[in-house]
Amino acid sequence: MYAVVRTDGKQIKVSVGDKVRVEKVDGDIETEITMNEVLMISKDAKVVYGRPYIKGATVKAEIIETGKLPKVLVYGPRPKKALKRLKGHRQKYTTLKIKEIT
């Protein structure tokens, strides 16, 4: 059994017991969250699609850890200048463990 959920504008395929890394979700470690934006559920040979979401379907997950990804460097010249520009960005993330799909 697996489901496709929408989180932060991205679609993620999850099943029970999976650990997935998503963009920052508010909450403390070891708390349970519920995702209501379920796009599709597949169980055995039966597939249910939502328009756009499945009414009454939820995915429960537990927050395992939070942190920041490695720094991504963005480098590029500035137009009509002799200067170069260097920026860095570290995206915050949350690791979730999928507990239940209903």
Is the pLDDT at 25 greater than 70, yes or no?
Answer: yes
Alpha-carbon span 63 to 15, nearest angstrom: 15
For the entire predicted model, the pTM comes to 0.81
pLDDT > 70: percent of the chain:
96
Q: Each residue of 80-91: pLDDT tens digit?
A: 776 667 788 999
Number of domains in the chain: 1
Instruction: List C-alpha distances in Å: 75 to 63, 83, 86.
Output: 34, 11, 5
Q: Which of 14, 18, 19, 20 is nearest to 2 (CA)?
A: 14
Contact 62, 31 (CB under 8 A): yes
Domain carrying residue 68: 2-101
Residue pair 47/39 in contact (Cβ under 8 Å)? The answer is no
